[in-house]
């Protein structure tokens, strides 16, 4: 079966594009590739692809079904290209595998030299132990009220470890990239923030079984809360996700730039004014970061300087193309 075309790539739009954006992209490309204006022999096939993409993406039902097929295809491709490491994998196990691989690459000559040095060191150690025993030395003794117990002082057992922290693990659980990831197996639930993003789009799935994939929430904000009950999380154009949340400025009342910031902890409530809307400022006050239908409290856009009020009950504030925001009142 031939691979289905990526209709978003055909129309050169984001997977999170609104219907009006999709229609505008189609009209712009049709003016270039319609056979009536383009003599290129490949123009009819390009126009056929544009028509098919518009047919699918302009119909809500067809688009939802296509998004499921596309998501599953991208997930399978991602899993085939990059082996996954569960976030519960011990750091010690990963390190052990790395040392075993290095030892396997050593030549026999080097192994022989290493073995000889080991014999010499062992002989020296035996001589030192014998001399110490003859002089009355011995292991450290720990005294207690119940008696005397000999206990040798030494390091902890080699290889003993605890599961790595989700924010510091070198196994990859502290960050993850675009694609589809299983919650609780490959990524941990909690608050995540996108870094090095382009045009971010993400979805939370409560189920990924068979044909019953269920979207629990979706959005484009650069901070998202993944629920423990989520089955999977998908993103595209978001760069890397991390659980290390760095504030946008030194203090919550200081100016801040584009992104999705937590109200009351990273930015203060109050009146805020932006510095530059020449690129088309868009902003949103968020009641939650889970992408549900009630997540957005208020939203707006414009090309002039904007003053908005962030209230204490807001969960977060999201903006892009607005320059820096400065607090101008309570």
Per residue in 117-131, pLDDT (tens digit) is: 666 666 666 665 555
CB 318, CB 287: distance < 8 Å: no
Domain boundaries, the chain: 7-81, 84-107+164-246, 259-329
Instruction: Write down the pTM of the prediction.
Output: 0.51
Burial status of residue 188 (CB atoms within 10 A of its CB: 0-12, 13-18, 19 or more): buried
User: What does the mean pLDDT of the chain come to?
Assistant: 77
Q: Which residue has the higher pLDDT, 151 or 243?
A: 243
Query: Considering all CA atoms of the chain, what is the largest pairwise distance in Å, rounded to the nearest integer?
Result: 103
pLDDT at 68: 82
Q: Which residue has the higher pLDDT, 95 or 218?
A: 218
Report the CATH number of the 7-81 domain.
1.10.287.110
Per residue in 28-37, pLDDT (tens digit) is: 998 888 888 8
Per residue in 76-114, pLDDT (tens digit) is: 776 666 554 444 443 334 344 444 444 454 455 555 566
- 281-289 mean pLDDT: 95
């Amino acid at each position: 079966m031939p691979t289905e075309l990526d209709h978003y790539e055909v129309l050169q739009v984001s997977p999170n594009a609104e219907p009006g954006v999709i229609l505008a992209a189609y009209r712009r490309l049709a003016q270039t590739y319609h056979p009536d204006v383009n003599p290129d022999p490949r123009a009819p096939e390009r126009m056929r692809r544009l028509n098919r993409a518009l047919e699918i993406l302009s119909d809500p039902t067809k688009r939802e079904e296509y998004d499921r097929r596309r998501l599953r295809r991208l997930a399978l491709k991602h899993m085939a290209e990059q082996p996954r490491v569960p976030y519960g994998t011990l750091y010690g196990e990963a390190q052990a595998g790395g040392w075993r691989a290095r030892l396997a690459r050593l030549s026999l000559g080097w192994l022989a030299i290493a073995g000889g040095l080991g014999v010499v060191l062992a002989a020296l150690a035996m001589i030192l132990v014998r001399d110490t025993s003859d002089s009355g030395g011995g292991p450290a003794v720990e005294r207690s009220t119940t008696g005397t117990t000999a206990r040798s002082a030494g390091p902890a057992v080699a290889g003993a470890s605890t599961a790595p922290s989700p924010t510091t693990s070198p196994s990859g659980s502290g960050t993850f990239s675009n694609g589809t990831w299983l919650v609780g197996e490959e990524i941990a639930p909690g608050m995540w923030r996108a870094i090095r993003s382009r045009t971010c789009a993400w979805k939370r799935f409560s189920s990924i079984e068979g044909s019953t994939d269920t979207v629990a929430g979706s959005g484009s904000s650069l901070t998202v809360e993944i629920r423990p009950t989520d089955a999977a999380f998908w993103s595209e154009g978001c760069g890397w996700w991390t659980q290390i949340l760095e504030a946008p400025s030194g203090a919550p009342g200081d100016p801040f730039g584009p992104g999705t910031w937590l109200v009351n902890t990273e930015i203060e409530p109050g009146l805020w004014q932006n510095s530059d809307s020449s690129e088309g400022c868009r902003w949103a006050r968020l009641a939650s970061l889970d992408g549900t239908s009630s997540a957005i409290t208020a939203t707006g856009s414009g090309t002039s300087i904007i003053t908005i009020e962030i209230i204490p009950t807001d969960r977060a504030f999201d903006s892009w193309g607005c320059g820096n925001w400065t607090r101008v009142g309570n």
